[in-house]
Structure 1
Amino acid sequence: MASASASPSPSPSGSRDRLSDLPDDVLGHILSFLPTKPAARAAALSRRWRHVFASVDSVSFEEQATARADDWNTPYHDDAQLEMKSVSTTLFKDVWSALLCRRHCAGFHVPLRRLRVAFNSCPGWNTRHVDQWLSYVLRHCRKELHLDLCFRLGPTCAQRTQDEWRTLSDWSWYELPRGLYSCTAMRSLCLSYCGLNLPAAINLPFLETLRLTGVDHGDSGTGIQRLIASCPCLVDLTLEANNKIQKVSILDKRLRRFTLWCCHGMKRVNIDASELMSLDYRGTVPPESLLSLHGTPEKIIPLCTVEICKLDYCMMAQHDTIKINTFFQEISNTQRLHLHHERIPYRYDFTGFPLFPNLTQLALQGGIQSPDGLRGILEQTPNLQVLWLLMEFPVDPYGKPEPPDEATFSVPCLQHRVREINMIHYHGDELQSMVARLLLRNALVLERLCVVFVKGSLQEQAGRKKEIERWVVAADAQQFFL
């Protein structure tokens, strides 16, 4: 039995400081979940924690999207040395300070596990710093390395294409060092608005996560395809704003998550979906043969997210309707669907729209145009249990729809299956009130109702609350108003 003198001394309050009893590497791992500056401040709390920052294995800094919106147009020089100086001085000082501070605390170079740096924009004369960071990290990384480099911030679809950026400014494009592609410790690689600069041989045997946003691969997509093919352990793939790429085939590996955002030139995606857990698509109306899911027949995908953008569904052509129906048919076995519809599907012809027999959770995000469109979707989800409506203000130049006959508004899943309804950003205009009334009067087995009001006076929200309470017919439904 240990003597009392061997026990850690209690704090002045009489309680034992169990947190400081932990070894430095454990404390450092805990602090690694914080951004770098808060982690450094936490490590300075006491003398016991003085060297803990050396065990923080993550360095993460990000410029604000509008921090220096015009600075890259007005570079300046040092009058004494006539040397072009960086307009990201603060960011560079922060990263170098974090790297050197870790070495100072430990007395030697401590391996890193994660490096994340995001520039508002990165002029060419700044890239020598990035080269030095990457050289340092690759020499002193741990058995696993997670790298996230973003060289331009801003909305994805609002960005210029890679060629337009090059034409605008040749010095604003960073080319990755080729040694990066032979780092066997790499586990995740996220790159935004830079040149891939692929070598002849790529060796990333343990890479699991790959995200490519607006990268310049110099061809019609063969470079990206070659990079994907060189990652045998890849399970999470994101392709975003890569307009040149037209075809991707991932049949030799089993992805668990696939994201395709704003790759408007994409014509064909072949995926082994036998272990796919999440599929996320955002873009214009997809080509009719965009998705081809292989593997286990009748594969059930747990989660699908779809956002069709840059299209007025009120003016949709018939061939676009066929394309969308074909796309949804490919994912009709999903269990959870998040559909950002803007104007779809409230003026949509549901002839040919597929049945979703396994769907239990549905989230619809966008402005409400007509209850008939909502009914059209719900009629295709016979086993729906949870419904989310993330409401937005509609913009409908075609006027207000006529209210449907409540006596004929009958949806089987509402009457027999739906047990939870959530309405977010409810402001109680005529259309939203009409939809809420029809849903709640038909939800006969409802167990939980949650309504989040938009900001307003207490009197207005109280009136909306009383109105909604009158519409609920399920006697045992628990109601939450926020």
Structure 2
Amino acid sequence: MQVRRRRREDRLSKLSDATLGRILSFLPAKEAGRASALSSRWRNVYAGVDAITLEQPESPIPDYEDYGSWSYGRPVDPNPKPPFGTTVTAALLARHLVPTAPAPPLRVLRVALNHYRREDASTVDHWVSYALKHAAPAPVGLELDLRLRRVPVCSRPYSLCCASSSRKRSRSTDADEEEEVNSRPRRMSVSDDDESSCWPQYTVPRMLFSSAALRSLSLGPCKLSPPDTISLPSLEALLLVRVTDCERNVQRLVYACPRLADLTLEACGMVTALYLHGNRRLRKLALRCCHSLVVAEVNDKLQTLEYRGAVPDTSLLALRSGGRWKPTSCMIDICGKEVSSEKELAKLGKFLQLLASTKHLHLRSARLGCGMEHDALAKLLPAFTRLLHLELTGLLPHDDGDDGDAAVAAVSRILQHAPNLKVLSLSLDTDPSKEGLHERRSWHDCKDSEFVRAHQLRCNKYEVLAAPAVTIPCLRKRVREINFAHYHGGRAQRTLAKFLLCNAPLLKTLYCGIVRGELWIQDMLRDEIRGWAMNTPENCIFD
């Protein structure tokens, strides 16, 4: 008996070109372009794409093992790839493949370059001109993202003090060392500016500052040089990375955006003061490694704050009206060396008092806990009565001299001040300074074995972990979810994990991301964590 085979029906191809083009808009431009090779039906579908996203791939890593031999170097490719700028231009022009059907208005253009060159200026100008000419009208608008160079945000690496000596040294030594740390940010910011001034600078075309359709703008590194008249009535999100303009130009640009709701500044060393009280719609502010910034005057409607840099003063955020600021989400990232002096800890405690009403708090520093175990923070740490989600990110090395007691004390102290906490997330890491990774200047100075040693599992099942018996009300009555990320299994990390899990009887969700390593160590850590939990959580996830 012959069995009839059902003919599979291609329902996706029955959709209209406009619908298929909108679907492909959510893919990178290269992936969307490959869809034209599926069949003759998809040949002209790319013409309906209204979002283009392209990122320049990194250069291949050369092989230095045969250095000095006659065969050194990669073989010449007979069919080399076209330049990245040509690829972006081709992706824009491919939207006009069908003469009978006009291209849809452009909604998104994201282009990320690795290295901008002076000869690329005219090409980038053509991209900007095309995007503004074919931009979707309001309220959809245009999202323009031009990253012209791949550079780190800050050159200040996270580094720890010696665990045994840093906690026993005198206060005078701490003060002297901290004085040196305080002077370092400005010197580093100046060096960063000097380094960026050596790069070829792209100057933004003036037509960009008079676009009524521009809804989101991300630029950098570049030079703005705005005209006397700036009109961006629809701009809602602005991101500036390593802008070398004077402070006045940045301030004028911000003032000219009446609908601005999201502002991000990264490594803008020329900005010393920022006045945002006139932007009444501003709800999110991110200041990342703007080490020269002294004051940012905001309105009381600001809901989300992200700060990365040295320990901030309370004068960093100022309310012109003198009212009380009530944020809902805050991230404080103390980059650079571990904060351990009483002066800096006291300054951190006073700044955290401004964030007492937040519901989501993320603290990141060189050492996990931001030095909360020190007595200098005991009297200044506020009561986070509305805090529901706490995230702590920092280094917690395997061979910590205090066997994790400092981490337990730091986490305990902040939990004592968060009576209504429900979710606790810890992102753990090892100390890269042990392997000397923070002193490396380029990728070819690092060996693969060093990265492996920095993230390998180390667990001794015969160690006796002494978790202190401390009663914390929020752990006993409120906490429902605990998350561990980058769990390595060192003594300090295991001590902290045991302390938290043995004091959380109402836990419903437990997540633990264990780093890669030998399978038997992963299984042992997995069983150990399950055994510490006072009850069996409904959702127990190990990754």
Q: TM-score, normalised by structure 2?
A: 0.75
Q: Distance in 1 between matches of 2:433 and 2:124?
A: 48
| Paired position in structure 2 for 1:126 | 120
The one of 177, 187, 201 aligned to 1:173: 201
Tell me: CA distance 1:31–1:407, structure 2 relative to 1, closer, same or farther (3 Å). Answer: closer
Alignment match, 2:252: 226
1:67–1:406 CA distance, 2 compared to 1 (3 A): closer
**Aligned-residue CA RMSD (Å):** 2.7
Per the alignment, do residues 190 and 17 of structure 1 end up closer, same or farther by CA in structure 2, a change over 3 Å counting? same
Aligned residue identity for 2:286: T
Closer, same or farther: CA 427–178 of 1 in aligned 2, 3 Å: same
- Report what 1:199 is aligned to: 227
Which residue is equivalent to 1:255?
A: 282
1:385 corresponds to 2:416? no
How many angstroms apart in 2 are the aligned matches of 1:28 and 1:475? 48
Q: What is the identity, as a one-letter code, of the residue corresponding to 1:320?
A: E
Query: Aligned runs of 1:347-362 on 2, under 5 Å?
Result: 347-349=373-375, 350-351=377-378, 352-362=380-390
Is the partner of 1:174 in helix, strand or coil? coil
Amino acid at match of 1:150: R
Offset, 1:210: 0.5
The answer to whether the aligner puts 1:213 opposite 2:241 as a matched pair is yes
Number of paired residues?
Answer: 441
Give me the whole-angstrom Cα distance separating, in 2, the residues matched to 1:450 and 1:132: 48
Write out per-residue CA displacement over residues 206-230 of structure 1, whole angstroms, 9 at most, x where no aligned residue.
011110010121x2x1211110110
Alpha carbons of 1:216 and 1:67: their partners in 2 closer, same or farther (altered >3 Å)? farther
Q: Post-superposition shift, 1:66?
A: 4.7
Tell me the distance in 2 between the aligned counterparts of 1:146 and 1:476: 43
Q: 2:512 aligns with which of 451, 460, 466?
A: 451
Provide the C-alpha distance between the structure 2 equivalents of 1:232 and 1:478, rounded to a whole number of angstroms.
45
Matches within 5 A, 1:26-65: 26-65=19-58
Per-residue Cα deviation, 1:394-453 (whole angstroms, up to 9, x for no partner): 4799xxxxx997564221111111111112222222111211121122112222222222
Gaps of 5+ in 1: 1-11, 70-86, 398-402
Asked whether the 8 Å contact 2:113–2:150 carries over to 1, the reply is yes
| Shift in CA distance, 476/88, structure 1 to aligned 2, threshold 3 Å | closer
Question: Aligned pair in 2 of structure 1 residues 161, 333: CA closer, same or farther (>3 Å)?
Answer: same
1:140 Cα deviation (Å)?
2.4
Q: Distance in 2 between matches of 1:164 and 1:428?
A: 40
2:528: which partner in 1? 467
Q: 1:65 to 1:245 in 2, by over 3 A?
A: farther
CA positional deviation for 1:255: 1.5
Matched position secondary structure for 2:89: helix
Cα distance change of structure 1 residues 479 and 114 upon mapping to structure 2, 3 Å threshold: closer
Secondary structure at the aligned position of 2:383 is classed as coil
User: Matches of residues 359-370 of structure 1 in structure 2 within 5 Å?
Assistant: 359-368=387-396, 370=406
Equivalent residues in 2 for 1:102-141, closer than 5 Å: 102-106=95-99, 110=103, 111-141=105-135
Cα deviation code 1:199-255 (max 9, x no counterpart): 0000111011110010121x2x12111101101111111111101101112222222
1:345 and 1:374 in contact (8 A); partners too: no
Pick one of 149, 153, 158 that aligns with 1:156: 153
In structure 2, distance between residues paired with 1:23 and 1:296 = 56
Q: CA deviation at 1:475?
A: 5.6
Give distance in 1, aligned partners of 2:225 and 2:351.
34
1:328 aligns with 2:352: yes
Conservation of the 8 A alpha-carbon contact between 2:502 and 2:534: yes
Equivalent position to 1:338, from 362, 379, 392: 362
Q: What secondary structure sits across from 1:364 in the alignment?
A: strand
- CA 1:161–1:89 in structure 2 vs 1: closer, same or farther (change >3 Å)? farther
Counterpart of 2:297 in structure 1 is 270
Q: Are residues 32 and 407 of structure 1, via their aligned partners in 2, closer, same or farther at CA, if it must alter by over 3 Å?
A: closer
Name the stretch that deviates more: 348-357 or 181-190.
348-357
Matched, 1:376 2:370: no
Match of 2:20, SS?
A: helix
Q: 1:269, CA displacement in angstroms? A: 1.1
CA pair 470-94 structure 1, distance change in 2 beyond 3 A: same
Alpha carbons of 1:424 and 1:229: their partners in 2 closer, same or farther (altered >3 Å)?
same
Residue 108 of structure 1 deviates from its aligned partner by 7.1
Report the counterpart of residue 309 of structure 2 in structure 1.
283
Q: TM-score, normalised by structure 1?
A: 0.84
Give the 5 Å matches for 1:49-88.
49-66=42-59
Measured in 1, the distance between the counterparts of 2:525 and 2:357 equals 37
Q: In the alignment, what sits opposite 2:142?
A: 145
What is the 5 A alignment of 1:381-420? 381-394=418-431, 406=467, 408-420=469-481
What secondary structure sits across from 2:14 in the alignment?
A: coil
Structure 2 counterpart of 1:436: 497
CA 1:224–1:65: 2 relative to 1, 3 Å:
farther
How has the CA–CA distance of structure 1 residues 131 and 88 changed in structure 2, closer, same or farther, with 3 Å as cutoff? farther
The answer to whether the Cα contact below 8 Å between 1:239 and 1:260 also exists between their aligned partners in 2 is: yes
Shift of 1:105: 3.0
Given residue 335 of structure 1, which amino acid in structure 2 is its aligned partner?
A: K
Conservation of the 8 A alpha-carbon contact between 1:426 and 1:452: yes
The 3 A distance-change label for structure 1 pair 138 and 105 is same
- What amino acid is aligned across from residue 496 of structure 2 in structure 1? V
Sequence identity, in percent? 37
Change (3 A) 1:473 1:108: closer
Determine whether 1:235 maps to 2:223.
Answer: no
Separation in 2 of the partners of 1:359 and 1:203?
A: 40
* Conserved? CA contact 1:416–1:445, under 8 Å: yes
Paired residue secondary structure (1:289): helix
- Of 39-48 and 185-194, more deviation after overlay is shown by 39-48
CA distance in 1, matches of 2:530, 2:28: 44
Deviations 1:328-380 (A, max 9, x none): 11122111112112212355332211221111111111123521111111111
Asked if structure 1 preserves the Cα contact closer than 8 Å seen for 2:29 and 2:54, the reply is yes
Distance 1:332 1:119 in 2: 41
